[in-house]
Amino acid sequence: MWIILSLIFVFILYVIWKYWALVIGAGYDPTPMKTVRRMLQMAEVGEDDVVYDLGCGDGRIILTAAREFGARAVGIEADPIRFFFARLRIFFSKERGKVTIRCGNFMNEYIGDATCITLFLFTRGNELLLPKLKKELSPGTRVVSYIWKFKEWIPIKTNVLEDIYVYIIPEVGE
C-alpha cells in the first residue's frame, strides 16, 4: 500500500513541478535542438548580439547562442530546480564567460540590453509580455517565438514547418 501511495505522491510532485510555471505563461517543454539552432539562424544571431531566453529551462538556447553563434547570452528562469540545473550546465561549459543566468520571473527582470529575445510561451504569456517588450527593447531588437504568435505583430520571418516566428521591435510610431 505504501508503494502505491509513494508512486501517487511522486506523480503529483512531478505534475506540479512540470506545470506550475503555467501560472506565469508556460509549462516546461524543452525546445528541440534542431529548432533552437533554426531559431537563432532565423534571427541572424552573431557575435555582436546579446540573446535573452525568457524561461530558459535547462539553458540550451543560451548555451547554443554562445557556443555556435558567438553571442553573449542571458537566461531567466523562474523554477529554482531548472535554474540550478541550467547553472550547473553553464558552470561546466566552455561558454560560462559569455553566458549568465538569473533566477526569477522575467516580467520583473530588466531585458533592455537584449538585441535578440527567444521565447516559448503560450499565447497568454506572449500577450502579457508584449507591453514589457515594447517598453524595454530598442527598435530593431529581434523577438523569436517558438509555436505561439503575437496577435498584435506581423512576423518578418516565418518557418511554418517548425512554428518559428521572428518579429522586430518597430520604431516609435510604427
Mean pLDDT of all residues in the chain? 90
3-state secondary structure of 111: coil
Structural domains in the chain?
Answer: 2-168 (3.40.50.150)
pTM of the model: 0.86
165 with 140: CB under 8 angstroms? no
pLDDT digits (tens, 9 = 90+) for 109-159: 999 999 999 999 888 889 999 999 999 999 999 999 999 999 989 999 999
Asked whether residue 172 carries a pLDDT value surpassing 90, the answer given is no
pLDDT at 7: 76
Asked whether residue 86 carries a pLDDT value surpassing 90, the answer given is yes
The owner of cell 503560450 is: 122
In 3D space, the residue among 11, 68, 159 whose CA is nearest the CA of residue 19 turns out to be: 11
Bridge partners (DSSP) of residue 75 are: 53, 101
* Model confidence band, residue 29 (pLDDT cutoffs 50, 70, 90): confident
C-alpha torsion angle, residues 165, 107, 139, 143 (rounded to 10)? -10
* Model confidence band, residue 2 (pLDDT cutoffs 50, 70, 90): confident
Stretch 9-20: mean pLDDT: 67
Stretch 19-39: mean pLDDT: 77
125 with 107: CB under 8 angstroms? no
pLDDT at 174: 52
